[in-house]
Amino acid sequence: MLGGVLSDDVLERLLWGVVLVGAPSLLLLLLWQMYRDCRIETYLFCESCKAADTGDTGRCPICDRELSEMAGFFYTSNSGEEKLLLRRGLQPYRNN
């Protein structure tokens, strides 16, 4: 169809160009989504209640104590992932 306008050689180069630019772009998009899904946020937390102050109120959402200690947290609702994290020594904290 485009044979009259573009030679086979040019068409092949265009096809390779799409593949070589498209594949890394797709990979970057997937990696970015994975990174975004396991984003680590820093919050104040209450050690005795095992609760993180995700609302940034400065107080424990359970015992209402004023908080001063901060740590990195990330959210998961996947129980398999939670077990894996426990095995790696991370502790689960509540956020409400």
Q: How far is CA 31 from CA 4, 23, 36, in A?
A: 41, 12, 9
Phi and psi angles of residue 88, each rounded to the nearest 5 degrees, phi first: -85, 5
Q: By CB under 5 A, tell whether 61 contacts Zn ion.
A: no
**Interacting span for Zn ion (CB under 5 A) from 2-10, 23-31, 53-61, 70-78:** 53-61
Q: By CB under 5 A, tell whether 49 contacts Zn ion.
A: yes
Among 59, 62, 85, 93, contact with Zn ion (rule: CB under 5 A): 62
Cα end-to-end distance, the chain, whole Å:
62
Q: By CB under 5 A, tell whether 46 contacts Zn ion.
A: yes
